[in-house]
A and B are shown apart, each in its own frame.
Chain A
Amino acid sequence: MDSSVLILFAHPALEKSRVNRVLIQAVRDLPGVYFNDLYENYPDFQINVAHEQELLRRHSTVILQHPFYWYSGPSILKEWMDLVLEHGFAYGKTGTALHGKTLVNAVTTAGPQDAYHPTGYNHFTMRHLLSPFEQTANLCGMKYLAPFVVHKSLAFHNVGEMMPHVKLYRTIVQKLVEGSLDLERAAKVERLGDALFSETEYS
């Protein structure tokens, strides 16, 4: 098992997206990153389970990158989980293939950060709303990190405005590839970016 990163990207209408198009450009060709575009590879939802499981075996970190639809991922992501995370592979007595690996959500939301708060209109924090993913990681023996989140994703007028998020995302992915991210800390913070600030200044 090398320390490389598998990005499972799920966007049903990337042609209508802006932030995600820029985000994936920034990370998809990084060394040590395998970019897996689910909707592009499986437009008919016929997921190749054996192939997907093999990808999981070969990578130590899995990033689920997707827009935050109805407080969850797009439908193909659920399909992927249902089919690929099989009993005997991902969980259960003999299902140890994912033990010790790391799981991260990288999501974009239209709503602002303060909406994801007990006093905001979404009432729950991002970590709270992502808890099904966190528990999935737990059950599979994976370490679950704080999510990388881009809020107000529809409010960007140009790529320039997106750049801070893009750079942060790229730094995080690079650190995950290098294995230089403090995983203990990354698991505890509210947003993944917070795990970086104390160590590395980023502008």
Chain B
Amino acid sequence: MQDNFLFQAFIYLAAATLALPIAKRLGLGSALGYLLAGIAIGPFVFGWVGSADAEVMHFAEFGVVMMLFLIGLELKPSLLWRLRVPILGMGSAQVLLTAAAFCGFGIAFGLNLRPAIALGLILAMSSTAIALQSLQERNWLKQRGGQASFSVLLFQDMAVIPILAILPLLATRRNAEGAAAGHSLLEGLPAWQQTLAVLGAGVAVIVLGRFLARPAFRFIAGSRLREAFTVFALCLVVGIALLMQIVGLSPALGAFLAGVVLAESEYRHELEADIEPFKGLLLGLFFLSVGASVNIPFIASNWGMVLGGAAGVVLVKFLILLGIATVFGRSRRDALLFGFALSQVGEFAFVLIGLAEQLHVLPRDWTRALVAITALSMMATAPLLMLLGWVPHRSANKNVEETVEPDLPEPTERGRVILAGFGRMGNIIGRFLQANQVPVTVLDTDAELIEGVRRVGLKAYYGDASRLDTLRAAGAEKAKEIGEMVKKHFPHLEIMARSKSRTDAYELINAGFDRVYRETLGTSMDMGAEALHLLGFRAYQARRAADAFKKMNEVSVRELAPHWGKQNYFEMLRAKINEAESKMQGHGLIGGAVDRAWDNEALREDQERGELRR
């Protein structure tokens, strides 16, 4: 039964289905849920999935590849620049101090210098998946502690690349039995040449991404078939991974590079939307298989060492983080948040541990213990963050200087307005907002149009705004604008809807949208006012009359909307038109009854009666 692929798949999926909602309800976060479910189905508890699941693990590692690709997609130079101080300052401090500390421990526990360095680098990493997800779930990402966590994770993500390159150099003996990827063409090359190959392949990916990917995307997008795009996106990531594997490098590294190369591309959001679900599934599978590989008997027989090790690792990481946050001037609560959020050992450690094992950088019993310690440290994050719930925000009794934080950078560089469609109106609105330094994200399914828009300097992406995941990738969680779906999934968004006609407006209003704009109203009133002026009306009078008429018209559309399609509609409409006309003409002058400003007639009457006091 265990050999049956469908049975295996069913067990994994069922475990995830059960574990996720439970973990969520317990406030543990999905990563921890997967881990626990993995332990449960693993060979040491229920034994539904075998221990010989290296293949599953290998396959699931692809989730990490995809995650790195997505991280790369998010890493735009402008974002890096805004967060440069926390990223470079806090990030490098965290990685170097933590690595140094654990390197010291390693030597103290009898490791040589090279393996000790590898140990330090492995334990310095934190879990992007666990930390970011936990912070996002609790809505803490925007707090200063959350910002700092995000920045340090970003730095770690980048640090992984040199670490992956350094690791082969730390190998204590030549890997005789075929290294990392098994069938590497670079096998047997000296370490420095392998390191050089990392850089060479990186350059290759950049060049390919710059010059080949975009024409390909344009060609695919031209077909207007959604699957074609998804297939190609997957094909791209898999292809890069394969390429990297052929030259014996980390597929994750290649995917990350490809992500960065495509971060400025107009297809970024669509790519994110396409890859994201696969990443989520595979990463889940990855956590599941990590859980399954947690060697319960090993922990049971070495429980003192493993538990003590995990507690020690978390404590050391936490203290170093706390110190860094304090040095960088974060408040006590932010420092605690930062310390707890990043106190675990990250999923990269699994990759690095695997690599270290393959390269014989670390002894086997060390790597076994490290896997267990890493898994346990991950499980500690959720309870630790729960503790933080008891630390009060002190902003209530702080003075203003402490409460108001100077120039808080946004966690991610994303447009705050999404323009769904870039037609005649979107075009003008987009340029207007851009001129006012409002970041605009344009989504349109016309690849050629998008390219033109980008040439003008607007941020535009290929994507279908009626697709939920594209919206999410475009930052809908933070921005404003689109339809029913937006309202349902992003209830905090302000939706501004363009309508082509009055009847169009009725339907939008009746569907519950408050901000409805008829595309012809503004221009009509401009022309109307100008016509009055040309006919001899005072310019200001014409302007005020047009403004007043427009306002009445907006009101009447909203009042008439519920009657649209009903029997009394035309009756109501006629009444409204009459009402507007009589209001405009109230005092024999357009604008007369709209307001009584400067209405001398009434004053003159007072004057005649000798009652005027002005």
Please report A residues at the B interface, Cβ cutoff 8 Å. 12-18, 39-41, 43-44, 109-111, 115, 121, 152, 154-155
**A121 to B533 Cα, complex, angstroms:** 40
Q: Is the CB of A110 within 8 A of B607?
A: yes
What is the minimal beta-carbon distance from B537 to any residue of chain A, in angstroms?
8
Which segment, of B113-121, B237-245, B538-546, faces chain A? B538-546
Q: Is the CB of A40 within 8 A of B539?
A: yes
B600 interface contact, C-beta 8 A = yes
**A18 to B538 Cα, complex, angstroms:** 15
Q: Which of B589-614 contact A (CB under 8 A)?
A: 589, 597-601, 603-604, 607, 612-614
Which residues from chain B contact A40 at a C-beta distance below 8 Å?
Answer: 538-540
Which residues from chain B contact A109 at a C-beta distance below 8 Å?
Answer: 614
When each residue 460-476 of chain B gets 1 if its CB lies under 8 Å from chain A and 0 otherwise, what string results? 00000000000000000
The contact of A121 among B529, B601, B613, by CB within 8 Å, is B613
Taking CB as reference atom, which chain B residue is nearest A76?
B540
Q: Is the CB of A39 within 8 A of B540?
A: yes
Q: Is the CB of B541 within 8 A of A13?
A: yes
Which residues from chain B contact A17 at a C-beta distance below 8 Å?
Answer: 600
Which residues from chain A contact B603 at a C-beta distance below 8 Å?
Answer: 110, 154
Chain A interface mostly:
loop
**A15 to B533 Cα, complex, angstroms:** 13
Which residues from chain B contact A44 at a C-beta distance below 8 Å?
Answer: 543
With A17-B600, A110-B607 as given contacts, are A12 and B540 in contact (CB-CB < 8 Å)?
yes
Which residues from chain B contact A111 at a C-beta distance below 8 Å?
Answer: 612-614
Taking CB as reference atom, which chain A residue is nearest B614?
A110
Which residues from chain A contact B540 at a C-beta distance below 8 Å?
Answer: 12-13, 39-40, 43
With A43-B542, A111-B614 as given contacts, are A16 and B599 in contact (CB-CB < 8 Å)?
yes
Q: How many A-B residue pairs have CB under 8 A?
A: 54
**A142 to B81 Cα, complex, angstroms:** 52
Which residues from chain A contact B599 at a C-beta distance below 8 Å?
Answer: 13, 16
Please, how many residues of chain B have a CB less than 8 angstroms from a CB on the other chain?
22
Q: Is the CB of A43 within 8 A of B543?
A: yes
Which residues from chain A contact B607 at a C-beta distance below 8 Å?
Answer: 110, 152, 154-155
5 extra A-B contacts, CB within 8 A, seeds A12-B597, A13-B541: A12-B540, A12-B598, A15-B589, A16-B598, A110-B607
Taking CB as reference atom, which chain A residue is nearest B546?
A43
> Can you list the 10 inter-chain pairs with the closest CB atoms, starting with the nearest?
A13-B598, A43-B543, A43-B539, A39-B540, A43-B540, A110-B614, A154-B607, A154-B604, A40-B539, A16-B600
Q: Which of B372-386 contact A (CB under 8 A)?
A: none
28 A-B pairs whose Cβ atoms sit less than 8 Å apart in the complex: A12-B598, A13-B540, A13-B541, A13-B598, A14-B538, A15-B538, A15-B541, A15-B589, A16-B589, A16-B598, A16-B599, A16-B600, A39-B538, A39-B539, A39-B540, A40-B538, A43-B538, A43-B540, A43-B543, A44-B543, A110-B614, A111-B612, A111-B613, A121-B613, A152-B607, A154-B600, A154-B604, A155-B607
When each residue 488-508 of chain B gets 1 if its CB lies under 8 Å from chain A and 0 otherwise, what string results? 000000000000000000000
What is the minimal beta-carbon distance from B577 to any residue of chain A, in angstroms?
25
What is the minimal beta-carbon distance from A126 to any residue of chain B, in angstroms?
14
Which residues from chain B contact A14 at a C-beta distance below 8 Å?
Answer: 538
